[in-house]
Structure 1
């Protein structure tokens, strides 16, 4: 959260805010992250302010705009995904690295409507560069596991990106309702289908 606070403070310019003003900003960022998770990118400034326990006036004194706040929060999460992918690429076992990345990536998509919206390209045009970096890393992870003979070579990396995006489910099907960890079971099935080995 510190990087998000610093980015918003630098966009304001002017003197360093008092400690209480900084705490309000931290509460707004935390509230925005939870509201994004539950509501998605359409969440209003009013709802974020209410979740943070501040008035709408305080919101606009601390934040340039609703869009700027959501952008900073989503950039922070997407950078976490990129960091996870970089760690996975450094793993000496390409399949293990890929599977670890896939788990974090799918969990974030399953747990946050806003992250799912952003990764789907909806609503936040300023995220294009980060999305391109995530695409590049997914491609590298897939190609590394394929080169090691651990991931099926008949599957293109964009197919993997679409499959990972489709794992999380928030709706019922044929009268069944998913458990909160349905995404995890779905992921295990998908990984078994992608792997060249029995795992």
Structure 2
């Protein structure tokens, strides 16, 4: 689901075409920033990105005019990919299968990225809000299409669905017990069972 699009626009500075080694540094910085955002969250630092990329701080400062802008662009890329996934799911021959596949992508991505999970659970900034608006439209279309097909419970408002899906993302521990590695998938199975329109027989 991840795409490179906007993130690479925030690495590098105007000037001559980058040399091969500089291009490799750019790729490493974007990959490192993405991994740090997933594992650490929105509090990731420039030093952490440099360490993960295997470059010095000077290289980061030369190639990344703004770490905040780069992290925001990575989130934009991810939300755009999620929107495209919702659009593709809407076109599936089987309405329930399409919705369930999107739900799995949505929950897995939130469960695997601290930064994305935090960003989607907070008030969006000016860069992310237009992209989230498109994602909301796509999810609404997907849910209402599945409801019209009799696949999702008709008594639900479409806005219930993103909140319910978000509950499938587990905390690290509860009642002193650690979450299983596949806990999000187990939670999602229960959530999907509750969303699905069950017909008698």
TM, length-normalised to structure 2? 0.92
Partner SS for 1:193: helix
- Work out the CA distance in 2 between the residues paired with 1:168 and 1:63: 32
Show structure 1 runs of 5+ residues with no match. none
After TM superposition, give the deviation of residue 180 of structure 1 in Å: 1.2
1:23-172 matched pairs, under 5 angstroms: 23-121=24-122, 124-172=125-173
Q: Do the aligned residues in 2 keep the contact of 1:37 with 1:114 (CA within 8 Å)?
A: yes
Counterpart position of 1:8: 10
Aligned Cα RMSD in Å?
Answer: 1.7
Q: Do the aligned residues in 2 keep the contact of 1:5 with 1:26 (CA within 8 Å)?
A: no
Q: Do the aligned residues in 1 keep the contact of 2:96 with 2:152 (CA within 8 Å)?
A: yes
Q: Do the aligned residues in 2 keep the contact of 1:30 with 1:52 (CA within 8 Å)?
A: yes
After TM superposition, give the deviation of residue 176 of structure 1 in Å: 1.9
Partner SS for 1:157: coil
Q: Do the aligned residues in 2 keep the contact of 1:49 with 1:55 (CA within 8 Å)?
A: yes
Q: CA 1:18–1:2 in 2, change beyond 3 Å: closer, same or farther?
A: farther
**In proportion to residue count, which structure has more helix?**
1
Q: CA 1:21–1:122 in 2, change beyond 3 Å: closer, same or farther?
A: farther
